């Protein structure tokens, strides 16, 4: 007998941004394996449920992905209801594929419950649209680093430097200075609007509006350990409302 796994998107951290289905699965779960950035929503978990922290954070001791996948399989094999709580949306840079592969290999059934991405939440907090009629008809989500922690070597710079696209960079702080240099070399104006959003969905969230060149210089000088993402492109000017 095997259990059932629900991959649940916790959104950016604000419990009020959970979906009704996410709350339902948390209330019914016998075990919840959760990411660090998802801990704020654990108040919805059933009393007595096992709560297992399996989050991975840059620069901190973290369980390996293989270990997390194995834990997920082991809990499900006991025949219980398991929630794998992932920050943001499970399918957005959340190592979802590796865990799905492990479950399928073990013959364990699962479902995926989407959550609000940090990208959508950041745009909402900043009161800007991710798309704009005529000037931003395309949105692209990219990761700021590969498995080594460095800027990915294989990058579509024509797409990344497209002035008519809104680009959202996840996990960007360490590598954005190098990315900005490459963007400018490929024709993107150094004055392109940029927004860095830190700890979105949490009480201490912070937004900084700047340009790609100035933001690169700021991050080159140092940065905090707070999780963040960066948006750049034809972002609406908050002050001018345009």
Give me the pLDDT at residue 58, please: 54
Q: Which candidate in 35, 86, 89, 162 is catalytic?
A: 35
Query: What's the CA gap between 8 and 49, in Å, rounded?
Result: 16
Instruction: Please identify, among 53, 87, 113, the residue that sits at the C-terminal boundary of a domain.
Output: 113
Same domain, 109 and 169: no
**What CATH number has the domain bearing residue 211?**
3.30.950.10
Range of the domain at 49: 4-113
Give me the pLDDT at residue 241, please: 41
Nearest residue to 37 (alpha-carbon basis) of 13, 15, 53: 13
pLDDT digits 0-9 by tens, 2-42: 799 999 999 998 999 999 999 999 999 999 999 987 888 99
Whether the pTM exceeds 0.85: the reply is: yes
Q: Mark whether 56 is an active-site residue.
A: yes
pLDDT digits 0-9 by tens, 214-237: 999 999 999 888 899 999 999 865
Same domain, 169 and 124: yes
pLDDT digits 0-9 by tens, 30-41: 999 999 878 889
Q: Mark whether 35 is an active-site residue.
A: yes
Buried b vs exposed e over 22-52: b needs ≥16 C-beta within 10 Å?
beebbeebbbbbbbebbbbbbebbeeebeeb
Which residues, including other chains, have CB under 8 Å from residue 74's CB and lie 6 or more apart?
none
Q: Does 15 map to a domain? A: yes
Give me the pLDDT at residue 7, please: 98
Give me the pLDDT at residue 87, please: 92
Q: Which candidate in 21, 30, 56, 226 is catalytic?
A: 56
Q: Does 220 map to a domain? A: yes
pLDDT digits 0-9 by tens, 145-163: 887 778 888 889 999 999 9
Same domain, 106 and 134: no
Instruction: Please identify, among 96, 113, 130, the residue that sits at the C-terminal boundary of a domain.
Output: 113
Same domain, 129 and 99: no
Same domain, 208 and 129: yes
Same domain, 103 and 135: no
Nearest residue to 101 (alpha-carbon basis) of 51, 53, 66: 66
Same domain, 83 and 129: no
Instruction: Please identify, among 113, 138, 157, the residue that sits at the C-terminal boundary of a domain.
Output: 113
DSSP 7-65: EEE-BTS-GGG--HHHHHHHHH-SEEEE-GGGGGGGGGSPTT-EEEE----TTS----H
pLDDT digits 0-9 by tens, 153-197: 888 999 999 999 999 999 999 999 999 999 999 999 999 999 999
State both tokens at 155: 């990058």
Give me the pLDDT at residue 239, please: 46
């Amino acid at each position: 007998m095997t259990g059932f796994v629900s991959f649940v998107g916790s959104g950016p951290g604000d419990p009020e941004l959970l979906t009704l289905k996410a709350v339902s699965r948390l209330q019914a779960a016998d075990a919840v394996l959760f990411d660090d950035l998802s801990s704020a929503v654990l108040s919805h978990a059933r009393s007595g449920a096992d709560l297992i922290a399996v989050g991975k954070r840059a620069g901190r001791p973290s369980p390996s992905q293989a270990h997390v996948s194995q834990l997920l399989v082991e809990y499900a094999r006991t025949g219980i209801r398991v929630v794998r709580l992932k920050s943001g949306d499970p399918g957005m840079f959340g190592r979802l594929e590796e865990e799905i592969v492990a479950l399928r290999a073990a013959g364990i059934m699962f479902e995926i419950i989407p959550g609000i991405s940090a990208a959508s939440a950041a745009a909402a907090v900043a009161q800007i649209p991710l798309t704009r009629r005529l000037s931003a008809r395309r949105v692209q989500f990219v990761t700021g680093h590969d498995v080594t922690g460095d800027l990915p070597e294989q990058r579509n710079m024509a797409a990344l430097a497209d002035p008519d696209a809104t680009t959202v960079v996840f996990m960007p702080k360490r590598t954005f200075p190098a990315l900005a240099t490459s963007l400018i070399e490929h024709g993107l104006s150094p004055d392109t609007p940029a927004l860095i959003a830190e700890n979105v969905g949490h009480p201490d969230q912070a937004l900084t509006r700047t340009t790609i060149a100035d933001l690169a210089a700021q991050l080159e000088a140092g940065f905090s350990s707070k999780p963040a993402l960066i948006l750049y492109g034809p972002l609406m000017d908050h002050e001018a409302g345009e």
